[in-house]
Structure 1
């Protein structure tokens, strides 16, 4: 019960932050990504504002074995830069640039995004289901010869 309450509060705070910051406005996000055109630098403050609390949270988490609610903490992310990270980053960036949405804002846009937001969410979920299957196939495929 307590965990669900904190998850709901955190989700509501996150969604409110997305709404206030403009991250759910696809034209604002695409303006941020259009560095050689009509660049809108305002989302730099949003992104910078996200990095600072996360850096502090990771610092605190490295000194703890359990969360405040008593749950096990996830292990720190890998520091390796590999094919999966690069491919995932490229695909994420392409989707973000084309649609102006990423997973958090896509969920938030369900309330007002109409069919476009719903279509993006369905495509995103399909990609999440397909990714492990494609990953397994790529890992089993022989290396290309040059």
Structure 2
């Protein structure tokens, strides 16, 4: 059941990325191009995500456990430290250069696998290096 819920959730998320155009690196780069041909679409997508997320947090607070697990696994709130800042900077650089972040990159594999595969491979290599050096 847990795998089915994860698959359905991931499929819904990926479909949302594709339908909204956020799997298109050109659209993301246009959002980051503040002094050129700026495209505000990503801001509307992020703004539109606030309402369903607010509903999800409200529902989550009223539930004893999630549908697919025994308990909620929520991260603790932590302050901003060097690891977080460096990670955010690296993420932003990769996002700005590639026009993709992990979710849209995976979703884009279904649209243009040859063009996106190098990014996804580099992303997994980076995840592997992180895991190797943080143990």
Match of 2:110 in 1: 111
* Residue in structure 1 matched with residue 65 of structure 2 by the alignment: 66
Residue correspondences, number: 135
Q: Deviations over 1:81-139 (max 9, x none)?
A: 11111111111111111011111111111122232300000000010111133446xxx
Residue 46 (structure 2) pairs with residue 25 (structure 1):
no
Instruction: Map Cα deviations across residues 55-90 of structure 1 (whole Å, 9 max, x no partner).
Output: 332343345442123432112342311111111111
Equivalent residue for 1:88? 87
User: In structure 1, how many angstroms separate the alpha carbons of the residues matched to 2:82 and 2:52?
Assistant: 28
Where does 1:1-146 land on structure 2 (aligned, <5 Å)?
Answer: 2-135=1-134
Cα distance in structure 1, aligned partners of 2:113 and 2:69: 39
The answer to whether the Cα contact below 8 Å between 2:5 and 2:68 also exists between their aligned partners in 1 is no
- By relative contact order (CA 8 Å, sep 6+), the higher-ranking structure is 2
RMSD: 1.9
Secondary structure in 1 aligned to 2:109?
Answer: helix
Report the secondary structure of 1:111's partner residue.
coil
Per-residue CA deviation, residues 33-62 of structure 1 (Å, 9 max, x unaligned), is: 111221101111111122332233234334
For structure 1, the residue ranges without an aligned partner over 5 or more in a row are 137-146
Say if 2:109 and 2:117, in contact at 8 Å, map to a contact too.
yes
